[in-house]
Chains A and B, each alone.
Chain A
Amino acid sequence: SQQGEEDPQALSIQEGENATMNCSYKTSINNLQWYRQNSGRGLVHLILIRSNEREKHSGRLRVTLDTSKKSSSLLITASRAADTASYFCATGTSGNTPLVFGKGTRLSVIA
Protein backbone atom coordinates (compact mmCIF):
# COMPACT_ATOMS: atom_id res chain seq x y z
CA SER A 1 0.00 0.00 0.00
CA GLN A 2 1.14 3.57 -0.58
CA GLN A 3 0.72 6.17 2.13
CA GLY A 4 1.74 9.33 0.33
CA GLU A 5 0.05 10.97 -2.60
CA GLU A 6 2.11 13.45 -4.55
CA ASP A 7 0.57 16.31 -6.42
CA PRO A 8 0.86 17.07 -9.26
CA GLN A 9 1.55 13.73 -10.96
CA ALA A 10 3.54 15.57 -13.62
CA LEU A 11 5.01 19.06 -13.79
CA SER A 12 6.73 20.81 -16.68
CA ILE A 13 8.56 24.11 -16.15
CA GLN A 14 11.18 26.31 -17.78
CA GLU A 15 14.73 26.39 -16.55
CA GLY A 16 15.15 29.03 -13.85
CA GLU A 17 11.60 28.71 -12.55
CA ASN A 18 10.71 27.26 -9.18
CA ALA A 19 9.10 23.84 -8.89
CA THR A 20 6.73 22.95 -6.09
CA MET A 21 5.57 19.42 -5.36
CA ASN A 22 3.14 18.42 -2.66
CA CYS A 23 2.68 15.25 -0.66
CA SER A 24 -0.28 14.24 1.46
CA TYR A 25 -0.34 11.27 3.78
CA LYS A 26 -2.86 9.49 5.96
CA THR A 27 -1.44 8.36 9.28
CA SER A 28 0.70 9.93 12.00
CA ILE A 29 4.36 9.97 11.11
CA ASN A 30 7.76 10.14 12.77
CA ASN A 31 9.47 11.70 9.75
CA LEU A 32 8.97 12.44 6.08
CA GLN A 33 11.65 12.08 3.43
CA TRP A 34 11.98 13.14 -0.19
CA TYR A 35 13.79 11.08 -2.80
CA ARG A 36 14.71 11.68 -6.39
CA GLN A 37 14.85 9.09 -9.17
CA ASN A 38 16.34 9.63 -12.59
CA SER A 39 14.84 7.50 -15.34
CA GLY A 40 15.98 3.89 -15.05
CA ARG A 41 18.00 4.53 -11.91
CA GLY A 42 17.68 3.94 -8.19
CA LEU A 43 16.32 6.46 -5.70
CA VAL A 44 18.55 9.05 -4.10
CA HIS A 45 17.75 10.61 -0.74
CA LEU A 46 17.32 14.39 -0.81
CA ILE A 47 16.14 15.55 2.58
CA LEU A 48 14.48 14.35 5.79
CA ILE A 49 12.16 16.38 8.00
CA ARG A 50 11.07 15.18 11.40
CA SER A 51 7.53 15.45 12.72
CA ASN A 52 8.52 18.19 15.17
CA GLU A 53 10.05 20.33 12.42
CA ARG A 54 8.12 22.70 10.17
CA GLU A 55 10.68 23.69 7.56
CA LYS A 56 14.08 22.57 6.37
CA HIS A 57 16.51 23.79 3.74
CA SER A 58 19.27 22.09 1.79
CA GLY A 59 20.87 24.05 -1.03
CA ARG A 60 18.13 24.85 -3.56
CA LEU A 61 15.66 22.58 -1.74
CA ARG A 62 13.10 23.74 0.77
CA VAL A 63 10.78 21.30 2.51
CA THR A 64 7.83 22.16 4.70
CA LEU A 65 5.76 19.88 6.87
CA ASP A 66 2.29 20.53 8.25
CA THR A 67 1.35 17.64 10.51
CA SER A 68 -2.10 19.09 11.22
CA LYS A 69 -2.92 18.87 7.51
CA LYS A 70 -0.81 15.72 6.99
CA SER A 71 0.98 17.35 4.11
CA SER A 72 4.45 18.33 2.97
CA SER A 73 5.84 20.36 0.09
CA LEU A 74 9.15 20.26 -1.72
CA LEU A 75 10.30 23.46 -3.41
CA ILE A 76 13.18 23.43 -5.85
CA THR A 77 14.33 26.97 -6.59
CA ALA A 78 16.02 28.16 -9.78
CA SER A 79 15.44 24.81 -11.49
CA ARG A 80 17.91 23.35 -13.97
CA ALA A 81 17.50 20.85 -16.78
CA ALA A 82 19.44 18.38 -14.62
CA ASP A 83 16.62 18.50 -12.04
CA THR A 84 14.45 16.55 -14.48
CA ALA A 85 13.49 13.39 -12.59
CA SER A 86 10.72 11.78 -10.54
CA TYR A 87 10.38 12.93 -6.96
CA PHE A 88 8.88 10.76 -4.21
CA CYS A 89 7.87 11.46 -0.66
CA ALA A 90 8.22 8.66 1.87
CA THR A 91 6.80 8.53 5.37
CA GLY A 92 8.24 6.85 8.41
CA THR A 93 5.96 6.00 11.31
CA SER A 94 7.00 5.12 14.84
CA GLY A 95 8.52 1.80 15.63
CA ASN A 96 10.17 -0.51 13.15
CA THR A 97 7.93 0.00 10.15
CA PRO A 98 9.69 0.61 6.83
CA LEU A 99 9.31 3.76 4.78
CA VAL A 100 6.16 3.97 2.68
CA PHE A 101 6.48 5.77 -0.64
CA GLY A 102 4.01 7.78 -2.68
CA LYS A 103 3.47 7.50 -6.42
CA GLY A 104 5.74 10.39 -7.26
CA THR A 105 5.78 13.60 -9.28
CA ARG A 106 7.49 13.57 -12.68
CA LEU A 107 9.30 16.87 -13.12
CA SER A 108 10.48 18.04 -16.52
CA VAL A 109 12.69 21.14 -16.65
CA ILE A 110 12.97 22.54 -20.15
CA ALA A 111 16.15 24.36 -21.07
Chain B
Amino acid sequence: GAGVSQTPSNKVTEKGKYVELRCDPISGHTALYWYRQSLGQGPEFLIYFQGTGAADDSGLPNDRFFAVRPEGSVSTLKIQRTERGDSAVYLCASRTTSGSTGELFFGEGSRLTVL
Protein backbone atom coordinates (compact mmCIF):
# COMPACT_ATOMS: atom_id res chain seq x y z
CA GLY B 1 0.00 0.00 0.00
CA ALA B 2 0.90 3.65 -0.15
CA GLY B 3 1.40 4.09 3.57
CA VAL B 4 1.64 2.22 6.86
CA SER B 5 -1.67 0.57 7.64
CA GLN B 6 -2.81 -0.35 11.14
CA THR B 7 -5.83 -2.37 12.18
CA PRO B 8 -8.04 -2.08 14.05
CA SER B 9 -8.18 1.68 14.38
CA ASN B 10 -10.11 1.29 17.62
CA LYS B 11 -10.31 -1.63 20.00
CA VAL B 12 -12.32 -1.77 23.21
CA THR B 13 -11.76 -4.79 25.39
CA GLU B 14 -12.28 -5.96 28.93
CA LYS B 15 -9.60 -6.35 31.54
CA GLY B 16 -7.95 -9.75 31.27
CA LYS B 17 -8.69 -10.30 27.59
CA TYR B 18 -6.16 -10.98 24.81
CA VAL B 19 -5.64 -8.40 22.05
CA GLU B 20 -3.84 -8.41 18.71
CA LEU B 21 -2.91 -5.26 16.82
CA ARG B 22 -1.75 -5.48 13.23
CA CYS B 23 0.67 -3.35 11.24
CA ASP B 24 1.24 -3.49 7.50
CA PRO B 25 4.33 -1.40 6.69
CA ILE B 26 5.29 0.35 3.48
CA SER B 27 6.33 -2.22 0.89
CA GLY B 28 10.07 -2.73 0.89
CA HIS B 29 10.67 -1.20 4.32
CA THR B 30 12.84 -3.63 6.24
CA ALA B 31 12.70 -1.88 9.61
CA LEU B 32 9.44 -1.83 11.58
CA TYR B 33 8.83 -0.15 14.93
CA TRP B 34 6.11 -0.26 17.56
CA TYR B 35 5.56 2.72 19.85
CA ARG B 36 2.93 3.39 22.52
CA GLN B 37 1.50 6.85 23.12
CA SER B 38 -0.50 7.83 26.16
CA LEU B 39 -2.68 10.94 26.22
CA GLY B 40 -0.62 14.11 26.19
CA GLN B 41 2.67 12.23 25.92
CA GLY B 42 5.15 11.48 23.17
CA PRO B 43 5.52 8.04 21.61
CA GLU B 44 7.40 5.54 23.78
CA PHE B 45 9.42 2.85 22.07
CA LEU B 46 8.34 -0.76 22.51
CA ILE B 47 10.12 -2.97 19.97
CA TYR B 48 11.66 -2.89 16.54
CA PHE B 49 12.26 -5.46 13.84
CA GLN B 50 14.91 -5.62 11.18
CA GLY B 51 13.47 -8.12 8.73
CA THR B 52 11.88 -11.00 10.62
CA GLY B 53 13.88 -10.70 13.82
CA ALA B 54 13.30 -8.45 16.79
CA ALA B 55 16.44 -6.32 16.89
CA ASP B 56 15.53 -4.51 20.10
CA ASP B 57 12.64 -5.36 22.44
CA SER B 58 13.91 -3.39 25.41
CA GLY B 59 10.82 -1.18 25.48
CA LEU B 60 8.28 -3.93 26.04
CA PRO B 61 6.90 -3.21 29.54
CA ASN B 62 6.52 -6.83 30.66
CA ASP B 63 6.06 -10.37 29.39
CA ARG B 64 2.38 -9.80 28.63
CA PHE B 65 3.52 -7.97 25.51
CA PHE B 66 4.87 -9.83 22.50
CA ALA B 67 5.32 -8.99 18.82
CA VAL B 68 6.06 -11.02 15.71
CA ARG B 69 6.92 -10.36 12.09
CA PRO B 70 7.16 -13.85 10.62
CA GLU B 71 7.65 -12.98 6.97
CA GLY B 72 9.45 -9.68 7.36
CA SER B 73 6.46 -7.60 6.35
CA VAL B 74 3.27 -7.53 8.44
CA SER B 75 3.75 -7.39 12.20
CA THR B 76 1.37 -8.23 15.02
CA LEU B 77 1.61 -6.83 18.53
CA LYS B 78 0.03 -9.20 21.04
CA ILE B 79 -1.07 -8.23 24.53
CA GLN B 80 -2.14 -10.92 26.98
CA ARG B 81 -4.26 -10.44 30.10
CA THR B 82 -4.87 -6.78 29.30
CA GLU B 83 -4.90 -4.26 32.12
CA ARG B 84 -6.50 -0.82 32.29
CA GLY B 85 -3.02 0.71 32.21
CA ASP B 86 -2.49 -0.76 28.75
CA SER B 87 -5.00 1.75 27.36
CA ALA B 88 -3.14 3.92 24.85
CA VAL B 89 -2.62 4.49 21.15
CA TYR B 90 -0.26 1.92 19.67
CA LEU B 91 1.69 3.35 16.76
CA CYS B 92 3.55 1.43 14.11
CA ALA B 93 6.23 2.95 11.92
CA SER B 94 8.53 1.70 9.20
CA ARG B 95 11.57 2.85 7.26
CA THR B 96 13.95 1.52 4.69
CA THR B 97 16.91 1.05 7.00
CA SER B 98 17.29 0.17 10.63
CA GLY B 99 18.89 2.26 13.31
CA SER B 100 18.70 5.92 14.03
CA THR B 101 19.01 7.58 10.63
CA GLY B 102 16.28 8.42 8.20
CA GLU B 103 12.69 9.35 8.72
CA LEU B 104 10.02 7.10 10.17
CA PHE B 105 6.71 6.66 8.37
CA PHE B 106 3.90 6.23 10.88
CA GLY B 107 0.51 4.62 10.65
CA GLU B 108 -2.60 6.25 12.10
CA GLY B 109 -2.39 4.10 15.21
CA SER B 110 -4.63 1.61 16.99
CA ARG B 111 -6.44 3.10 19.98
CA LEU B 112 -6.80 0.46 22.67
CA THR B 113 -9.23 0.96 25.53
CA VAL B 114 -9.27 -1.58 28.34
CA LEU B 115 -12.37 -1.36 30.51
Interface residues of A (CB under 8 A from B): 1-2, 4, 30-31, 33, 35, 41-45, 48, 88, 90, 92-104
User: Which chain A positions have C-beta within 8 A of B48?
Assistant: 98
Tell me the B69-115 residues at the A interface (CB within 8 Å): 91, 93, 98-109
Cβ A102 vs Cβ B106 within 8 A: no
CB-based contact B103/A103 at 8 Å: no
- Chain B residue nearest to A89 (CB atoms) is B42
Shortest 6 CB-CB distances between A and B: which pairs? A92-B100, A42-B106, A45-B103, A101-B42, A43-B106, A96-B99
The SS class assigned to the A binding surface is: loop
CA distance A88 to B91 in the complex (A): 14
B32-62 to A contact mask, C-beta < 8 Å, 1/0: 0101000011111100101000011000000
**18 other contacts beyond A1-B44, A96-B99, A103-B41, with CB at 8 A cut-off?**
A30-B101, A33-B103, A33-B104, A35-B106, A42-B4, A42-B106, A88-B42, A90-B104, A92-B100, A93-B100, A97-B56, A97-B99, A98-B33, A98-B56, A99-B104, A101-B42, A101-B44, A102-B42
